Amino acid sequence: MTETAAASAVRGSKLLTVLKGARPFGAGSGWVASTVFIALLVGAPVAFILAHVFVSSGDVWEHLAQTVLPLYVVNSVLLMLGVGVGVMVGGVGTAWLVTMCRFPGRGILEWALLLPMSMPAYVVAYTYTGLLDFAGPVQSAIREVFGWSSTRNYWFPEIRSLGGAIIVMSLVLYPYVYLLARSAFLEQSICVLEASRTLGRGPWKGFFKVALPLARPSIAAGTALALMETLNDFGTVHYFAVDTFTTGIYRTWLGLGEPTVAAQLGAVLLLFVLALVMIERVSRGVAKFHHTTTRYRHLPGYQLRGWRSLAAQTFSFTGVFLGFVLPASVLAWWSLRHSVVNLDFLPMARNSFLLALVAALAAVAVGVVMAYAQRLSPMPATRAAVRLASLGYAIPGSVIAVGTLVPLGMIDNALASFIFEHFGVTTGLLLTGSIAALVYAYLVRFLAVSFNGIEASLAKVTNSMEAASRTLGQGTFGTLRRVHIPLIRGSLLTAGLLVFVDVMKELPATLIMRPLNFDTLAVRTFTLASDERLMDAAAPALVIVLVGLLPVMMLSYAVARSRPGGKS
């Protein structure tokens, strides 16, 4: 027995523990092929957009570059900066207060701080406009009290502005940072903080010198996610007439009828997204490194009293109040007064539910196939395919819409002329403006949402359970059907619900891609608001918010259970 052989066997055994069960045992190449196929399908719109960078669009691009493009860039950058600061201050501040401090109402705040997540930004934008514009109750009351009659007599901040958009989006997006920062604070060893205190730092200094740097990767990841949503937003900036890339793409597409230029705008937008994805990926990697223990230790907490306690309560409740309680109450009030009698939003609700249901089922089915294929054969090809396919969550809906519609239009035209030539039948456009195309776009955007949950829950099926099923005569498909799916049923439901809600809220892609005269709740809300019929928009908006509450409630429940000192 040579030394090298024995040593290599030892190395082998270590490797084995890493690889054991993850080896392809007769994984049909069908699983790998289908994953690659899905990845290509999901990646196609992005690839198409990127390919358009090099297509000449003549004068239109030049014209845009000279006129509106700088404005898009400046507005998008300012919006991102403003929202970035807003969500960081709101998210980190509230996370620190509820995890490390003790004050009345903390227990409620812990989960209530998540509630604004159920609010689409555009809905909040509509409500605040209704409240704060010239005809709204606030300004009317001011005029009444002071006896003024027009804006010439007084100054009131304009909500429909870049600043207003920043505030509205910060209000609904800070929970992303709150969630990640909170878990980062929970995972920090109390010893580190106590060490900093014994070394002469007060609680404030400890926060800035120790806790904040340790949580930095999580905060960066949460902020990156919030900013992705900011870039994706269409409803708010459109309504507030803040020209950004999403409104630009929409206008170039529908107004100018210039798909190539719209795609090129999308490509520029993707540069921003790419930067955010990099930030998010890198910070997640670092965040994992800091994750030292899964057990939550009891956090001692600084007992706040007097004005400090009041300040903490005010700061934290402001987010919940302005981001959820106030707009939701206003919506409910308007709905009761104006649109309950008018039930014309019911067909749209049906459309929304059906679309969301189909998209959720598709996303779960495809997510299961991908997650299982990745588990069966974790080869570089599968892994790369899965990565590509799960990038969609970062791509703004408007970009996906353009990247889907343009190639679909080409296929449609080719198909139509082919059929006309060979069969003499005029078919029109078969795919463009079809429900199938819309579901496909949803799949591209939200596949990552279902996939991530499914992939994580597949860990419940141990490798030996899988091997047991295989040696007991079940093939890969039989094993998936009889072992994996029953075991991860709960996670499949959750994944489906998340996609369902996201589709309900989705606006830009739906707006661009929906079939003619096919309205969803989100589209209906948007068009009514655009027509300045805010009160009528309240009812469909309220339905979206109520459905959106479901996953937030689940999340809140999970958060409440992961309370410091609670069960690990």
Partner 1 sequence: MNKMFSKPQPALCGPGPHCALNPNGGCAADPLRMAPCPPGSSCLIMDQVSCAYGETRVVDNVSFAVRPGELLCLLGPSGCGKTTTLRMAAGLENPVEGRIILNGQVVGGGGVHVPPEKRSVGFLFQDYALFPHINVLANVAFGILDKTQAERRERAMEMLKQVGMENYAEAWPHQLSGGQMQRVALARALAPKPMLMLLDEPFSGLDKRLRDQIRDETLHVLKSSGVCVLMVTHDPEEAMFMADRIAIMRGGRIVQIGEPEELYRRPAASFVASFFGEVNRIPAKVKGGAVNSPFGAFPAPGFKDGDQVDLVIRPEALSLELGDHGIATVLVSHMLGRSNLIHMRVDSEQGAPIHLHARTTGPLPHIEGARVSIKLDRSQAYVFPAEDQSDPEPMPEEVQAPPPSLGSFC
Q: Which residues bind partner 1 (CB under 8 A)?
A: 1, 3, 5-16, 19, 21, 23-26, 462, 464-465, 467-475, 478, 482-483, 486-487
Output the smallest distance, CB 31 to partner 1, in A.
Answer: 13
Output the smallest distance, CB 469 to partner 1, in A.
Answer: 7
Q: What is the b/e burial string over 244-276, where b = at least 16 CB atoms within 10 angstroms of the residue's CB? A: bbbbbbbbbbeeeebbbbbbbbbbbbbebbeeb
Q: Considering the complex, state which of residue 6 and residue 278 has its C-beta at the smaller distance from partner 1.
A: 6
| DSSP state letters, 376-405 | H---HHHHHHHHHHTTGGGS-HHHHHHHHH
Output the smallest distance, CB 493 to partner 1, in A.
Answer: 15
Output the smallest distance, CB 483 to partner 1, in A.
Answer: 6
Asked if 508 and 246 count as a contact pair (C-beta separation under 8 A), the reply is yes
> How many C-alpha atoms does 22 have within 13 Å on its Cβ side?
12
d(C-alpha 185, C-alpha 109), whole Å? 16
Asked if 178 and 315 count as a contact pair (C-beta separation under 8 A), the reply is no
Helix (H) or strand (E) holding 294: none
Q: Considering the complex, state which of residue 15 and residue 65 has its C-beta at the smaller distance from partner 1.
A: 15
Q: Considering the complex, state which of residue 314 and residue 471 has its C-beta at the smaller distance from partner 1.
A: 471
- Reading phi first (left if > 0) and then psi (alpha if -120 to 50, else beta), residue 164 is in alpha
Q: In degrees, to the nearest 5, what angle opens at C-alpha 177 toward C-alphas 175 and 179?
A: 65
Indicate the DSSP class of residue 481: I
d(C-alpha 378, C-alpha 461), whole Å? 16
d(C-alpha 442, C-alpha 274), whole Å? 20
Q: Considering the complex, state which of residue 143 and residue 470 has its C-beta at the smaller distance from partner 1.
A: 470
d(C-alpha 536, C-alpha 486), whole Å? 44
Residues 6+ apart with CB under 8 A from 24: 376, 377, 379
Q: Considering the complex, state which of residue 20 and residue 337 has its C-beta at the smaller distance from partner 1.
A: 20
Output the smallest distance, CB 158 to partner 1, in A.
Answer: 58
Output the smallest distance, CB 457 to partner 1, in A.
Answer: 13
- Give the CA distances from residue 450 to residues 233, 363, 444, in Å, rounded to whole numbers and listed in that order: 21, 6, 11
Output the smallest distance, CB 30 to partner 1, in A.
Answer: 13
- Give the CA distances from residue 314 to residues 107, 128, 309, in Å, rounded to whole numbers and listed in that order: 15, 20, 9
Would you say the C-alpha torsion 108, 119, 537, 499 has a positive or negative sign? negative
Output the smallest distance, CB 378 to partner 1, in A.
Answer: 13
Asked if 108 and 97 count as a contact pair (C-beta separation under 8 A), the reply is no
Q: Which residues are 303's β-sheet partners?
A: 102
Token digits of residue 258:
């210039």
Task: Count other C-beta atoms under 10 Å from residue 362's C-beta.
Answer: 19
d(C-alpha 404, C-alpha 72), whole Å? 23
Of 72, 405, 96, nearest to 238 (Cα)? 72
d(C-alpha 332, C-alpha 25), whole Å? 56
Q: Considering the complex, state which of residue 197 and residue 383 has its C-beta at the smaller distance from partner 1.
A: 383
Output the smallest distance, CB 34 to partner 1, in A.
Answer: 18
Q: Considering the complex, state which of residue 5 and residue 341 has its C-beta at the smaller distance from partner 1.
A: 5
Task: Count other C-beta atoms under 10 Å from residue 523's C-beta.
Answer: 19
Output the smallest distance, CB 165 to partner 1, in A.
Answer: 48
Output the smallest distance, CB 456 to partner 1, in A.
Answer: 17
Q: In degrees, to the nearest 5, what angle opens at C-alpha 226 toward C-alphas 180 and 103?
A: 45
Output the smallest distance, CB 22 to partner 1, in A.
Answer: 11
Output the smallest distance, CB 542 to partner 1, in A.
Answer: 39
Q: Considering the complex, state which of residue 1 and residue 516 has its C-beta at the smaller distance from partner 1.
A: 1
Q: In degrees, to the nearest 5, what angle opens at C-alpha 160 toward C-alphas 155 and 161?
A: 85
Output the smallest distance, CB 20 to partner 1, in A.
Answer: 8
Q: Considering the complex, state which of residue 132 and residue 487 has its C-beta at the smaller distance from partner 1.
A: 487
Q: Considering the complex, state which of residue 424 and residue 486 has its C-beta at the smaller distance from partner 1.
A: 486
